[in-house]
Each structure stands twice: as structure tokens, then as C-alpha cells.
């Protein structure tokens, strides 16, 4: 979508969340928490090309880690029930959800299903973890919001988006919900808890 980070060209600038690049890291964190991880369900909005690219990156990372992927693309809210039925029929070891408007609006349903089925979860942002999910790893969202406001201000003062470098996030957050871990019967390794930026107890 852009010519490069330094000079994006066109009418695009801002902060990238490194969505595709962080997929492998999320799977590694899942493996750290669940050493026996062999099958992960990936839930994403199949109608969104950006989210499909994130899914494909996660799928590639899973292959490298020797983890099988259960593909669960959704297009609308009703599709979540089908995804839940598939996970009930063919149980994964954990769920990785790719975040966009559709999945985030339905995150509480995903968290509730996962907790009832005793399935560990990892998300891209912290909101589902605060709702009862197990873990999340991604760029610090408040930093991205602040930088987005900076870009808006520059553009409103006359700067051309094509001339504003596209930025990469510099701070990342690992959130772990130990209350959820306890409810799931999972002991999160102390080394992983020590790495967390926020622990919910």
C-alpha cells in the first residue's frame, strides 16, 4: 500500500502495528505458556485482506514451529457460532484471534466460549485479556493513538501524507491474566510472567 517507510507516497501515512510480523511472536508466547501446544485455532475476518495477510503470516509461523492450524475464517457475527462448533467438534489446544472491527466486536463471545471450553487464548491487544482472555502481545495501543494524533495535526497544518514517514511501533506489551490461567488449570511459567508488562491477578 506504500512505496516505503521513509516516503510512503500517495495519501497514506501513520503508524503500522506490524500485524503480520508479530504473528510468529504470539505463537512463540503460546508455546512458552503451553509447551505441549500442537494445534492452534486461528480466528480472523476472512473478508478483510489485511487480516487475511496476518492470518497467513501466523500460519507460516505455525508451520515453522511444527504447530497445526485449524482455519476459522469469519465474515459476519453469525459465523462465530460455526467457528465455535468446529472447535467443539475438533478441539484445538489454543485460540489465536486476529483483531479487526468484526472480531473485536465479538471478542466477549470468543472469550466466553474459550473459557467454558477451557481453551487458552492469545490476542493482539489487551482488551480481550481484560475481558477474561488469557494473554495478548502487541504494540502499546496508547502510543499508537498518540502518534496517530500527531500525524492528524501535521496534516491539518498542511503537511502532505506522502511526505510524512510511516512509523513503526517502539513499545510492545505482553498481558497475562493469571485469574484466567487458574480457572483454565494452566500454570503459566514464572519466566513468562516475569516478562509480562501487565499481570491481572
pTM for the full predicted model: 0.85
Helix, strand, coil percentages for the chain (3-state, nearest 5): 45, 20, 35
Strands (E), 20-65: 39-45
Contact by Cβ (8 Å): 107, 123: yes
Containing structural domain, residue 45: 23-138+169-195
User: Does residue 90 lie within any of the structural domains?
Assistant: yes
In a domain, 200, yes or no: no
List, as one string, the DSSP characters of 88-151. Answer: HHS--SEEEE--SHHHHHTHHHHHHHHHHTT--EEESSSHHHHTT-SEEEEE-HHHHHHHHHHH
pLDDT in tens, 77-89: 999 999 999 999 9
**Residue 87 included in any domain:** yes
Q: Give me the CATH number covering residue 67.
A: 3.40.50.2300
Q: Is 120 among the domain residues? A: yes
Q: Residue 33: inside a domain, yes or no?
A: yes
- pLDDT per position as a tens digit, 135-144: 999 888 777 7
49 or 20, which is more confident? 49
Residue 133 belongs to a domain = yes
Q: Is residue 46 part of a domain?
A: yes
Domain total in the chain = 1
Is the per-residue pLDDT at 29 higher than 80? yes
Judge whether 40 lies within some domain.
Answer: yes
- pLDDT tens track for 57-115: 888 888 888 899 998 999 999 999 999 999 999 999 999 998 888 999 999 999 999 99
Amino acid at each position: 500500500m506504500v512505496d516505503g517507510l521513509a516516503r510512503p507516497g500517495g495519501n497514506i501515512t501513520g503508524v503500522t502495528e506490524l500485524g503480520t510480523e508479530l504473528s510468529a511472536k504470539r505463537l512463540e508466547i503460546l508455546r512458552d505458556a503451553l509447551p505441549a501446544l500442537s494445534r492452534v485455532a486461528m480466528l480472523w475476518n476472512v473478508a478483510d485482506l489485511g487480516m487475511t495477510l496476518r492470518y497467513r503470516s501466523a500460519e507460516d509461523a505455525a508451520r515453522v514451529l511444527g504447530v497445526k492450524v485449524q482455519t476459522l475464517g469469519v465474515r459476519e457475527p453469525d459465523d462465530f457460532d460455526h467457528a465455535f462448533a468446529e472447535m467443539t467438534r475438533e478441539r484445538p489446544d489454543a485460540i489465536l484471534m486476529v483483531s479487526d472491527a468484526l472480531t473485536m466486536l465479538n471478542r466477549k463471545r470468543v472469550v466466553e466460549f474459550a473459557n467454558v471450553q477451557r481453551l487458552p487464548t492469545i490476542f493482539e491487544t489487551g482488551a480481550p485479556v481484560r475481558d477474561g482472555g488469557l494473554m495478548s502481545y502487541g504494540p502499546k495501543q496508547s502510543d499508537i493513538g498518540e502518534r496517530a494524533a500527531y500525524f492528524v495535526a501535521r496534516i491539518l497544518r498542511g503537511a502532505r501524507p506522502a511526505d510524512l514517514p510511516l512509523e513503526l511501533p517502539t513499545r510492545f506489551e505482553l498481558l497475562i491474566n493469571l485469574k484466567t490461567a487458574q480457572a483454565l488449570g494452566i500454570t503459566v511459567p514464572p519466566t513468562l510472567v516475569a516478562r509480562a508488562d501487565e499481570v491481572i491477578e
